Amino acid sequence: MKSLSRLFLVALLTTLATGCVYVNGDKINTDDWKDTQVTNREAISQLDMGLSTQAVKDQLGAPADSEAFMDDGEEVRVLFYRTNHKHSDGETTRDETTPLVFRNDQLVGWGTRVYESLR
């Protein structure tokens, strides 16, 4: 009877573990992108104007995408953070992100309207 209990326990643990994937010892959770989006939206809503690019990266981590260009002799840097899942294709596209716009290393705004006004 003890071996039957052990077999049941092993089967149960095996079933529970099948939802996890390990790559190089790191756990990968398929729901991470959902958590990331919620965290990013919450963090972005609490940002203060004038923050540096590094201060924002310290709070939000690495962006999903970025670009930089000159505008009237000033550096403009845009960091794109994933905030809105739209496509189940395994890629993060710009329409799934919120752009954070920096002018001369100071946060001057975020959102599509701010970004498009510069382009």
Q: How confident is the model at residue 6 (pLDDT cuts 50, 70, 90)?
A: low
For the chain, give the mean pLDDT: 81
Average pLDDT over residues 73-102: 87
Average pLDDT over residues 12-24: 46
Global pTM reads 0.69
Average pLDDT over residues 32-51: 90
H helix intervals, the chain: 2-17, 32-45, 53-60, 112-118
Using CA atoms, how far residue 13 sits from 6, 7, 27, 28, 114, in Å, is 10, 10, 16, 18, 50
Closest CA to 79 of 61, 95, 101: 101
For domain 33-118, the question of CATH label 3.30.2130.30 is answered with no
Write down the pLDDT at residue 37.
87
